[in-house]
Amino acid sequence: MSEGGGPIVLRPAHFPGRAPIDAYGNGGFRFADMSHRGSLLLLPSGIHGWEPEEEGKLSSADIDRVLAEADQIEILLVGMGKDLRPLPAELRTALREAGISSDPMSTGAAVRTYNVLLAEERAVAAMLIAVD
């Protein structure tokens, strides 16, 4: 029970703004004087908690939110964890058809690149898989 007497309501993690990533590792991220355990989806609508549908592999369901905001995104950085893995062909095709350029890389490289592009006020989004 919360102090107000009602049940505690758990909501999906969401920060309603854009912010650079201050740190990553230990299974999460720090940004805007907060921390988040798990992976993140950074979109024009804000920063959302996100977990890939299938561990180690991205599916079309993982990019649904990205596609919903495609008119505000030019480039999608995909932090694939510690190692670089290619995006599945069907995801690259769906993103390209929506006018989004995708760039898979390690999570660390994606964080650094995202921060630079955000500071330049570019139309950037990112999917960041948490690393230990």
Q: Map out the domains of the chain as residue ranges.
A: 17-128
Dmax (CA) for the chain in angstroms is 50
Amino acid type, 62? D
Amino acid type, 105? M
Which CATH architecture best describes the domain 17-128?
A: 3-Layer(aba) Sandwich (3.40)
pTM comes to 0.88
- Residue 93 falls in which region: left (phi positive, over 0), alpha (psi -120 to 50) or beta: alpha
Order of all β-strands in the sheet with 28-31: 21-25, 28-31, 34-37
* Structure confidence by residue, pLDDT tens digits, 76-103: 999 999 988 889 999 999 999 999 999 9
* Structure confidence by residue, pLDDT tens digits, 48-73: 999 887 766 899 999 999 999 999 99
